[in-house]
Structure 1
């Protein structure tokens, strides 16, 4: 039914295929902390990933059973989900993932692409981009803009050693810039 109210995207698949697709995407996300897919798939996988990390934060037997039902390789990923990721997001009230739009992956279909990534991790793209902006401003002797200050606050707010990690990243970027010709 065109234009009707939908609770979720159907993604052109029947329910079993859609559920298998989303489980596979979320399993890959937990394993690699970042995946590249189409934008609608990323938005739907984001919903399931947020629920899975919320389950991990509960850290009880019922939550572990539900998480095992979602992940395809629970024996491999349960320690990471209920260990490292649960500790990383213990103080964060939500928003564990980020969807970043990208250029289409396939030049033939031109489907809108996106990167679905866990925030505050070692592969957090906003963290690296903000550090690069701060390093550039410092090299040019310019004041930071309001947006740069806001992004620094966002990327360091929920990290345990956020400000120290951020300054280390800025220093690494500055040394890379000085070494290049």
Structure 2
């Protein structure tokens, strides 16, 4: 019986499965993205994410532990030098699985598994560029700031600016009435 055994056996013996996961994890670390079946990608995510977490602490013990899983010196070196620096602030979720069309031969569900910080399609280039500062609409000493403040304002912009003031005005009118009502109640009670 398989009570409580939650990992996917992938139709392989334990030795075959361990060797396959080590090879796939090494390939993922070396190439940053691999294409495989969806079941193998999900199993690989569970296998490789603890290794990436362990690479955040660069000690001899953690290197030896990771090497016992990967059995590839180049992959261990890249993991501890490059990947650990990129994921230093990330609290988890180092991989992404993207589903593809089914394979033609056997109609197996295919997927791409990739390291999140190395993807250029999903905003990797935007994340690498420094974020622009938000423009402030206030006067200043510089010529550029004064020109930006007197920039052309469209009627839509005026409506957006006037709208918060309109909502703030009724709130200001209600506040003087509230203390007056409290004073009247206090006088009645005395």
TM-score interval w.r.t. the shorter chain?
0.5 to 0.7
**CA drift at 1:5:** 4.2
Cα deviation per residue 1:23-73 (whole Å; 9 max; x = unaligned)?
111000000000000001001111111011011002112110011111232
Match of 2:75 in 1: 77
Whether 1:119 and 2:116 are equivalent positions in the alignment is yes
Gaps of 5+ in 1: 132-154, 165-181
Match of 2:181 in 1: none
Cα deviation per residue 1:91-125 (whole Å; 9 max; x = unaligned)?
00000100111112x3121111110000111x343
Distance across 1 between alignment mates of 2:40 and 2:130: 31
Gaps of 5+ in 2: 133-190
Distance across 1 between alignment mates of 2:65 and 2:117: 25
Cα deviation per residue 1:109-165 (whole Å; 9 max; x = unaligned)?
1111110000111x343226xx8xxxxxxxxxxxxxxxxxxxxxxx74xx6x5647x
Match of 1:30 in 2: 29
Runs of 4+ that moved beyond 6 A? none
Distance across 2 between alignment mates of 1:57 and 1:68: 14
Q: Does the aligned pair in 2 maintain the 1:118–1:124 contact within 8 Å? A: no
Query: TM-score, normalization: structure 1?
Result: 0.66
Match of 1:47 in 2: 46
| Distance change >3 Å, CA 83–CA 57, structure 1 → 2 | same
Report the secondary structure of 2:99's partner residue.
strand
| Distance change >3 Å, CA 162–CA 54, structure 1 → 2 | farther
Distance across 2 between alignment mates of 1:33 and 1:162: 23
Distance across 2 between alignment mates of 1:107 and 1:57: 40
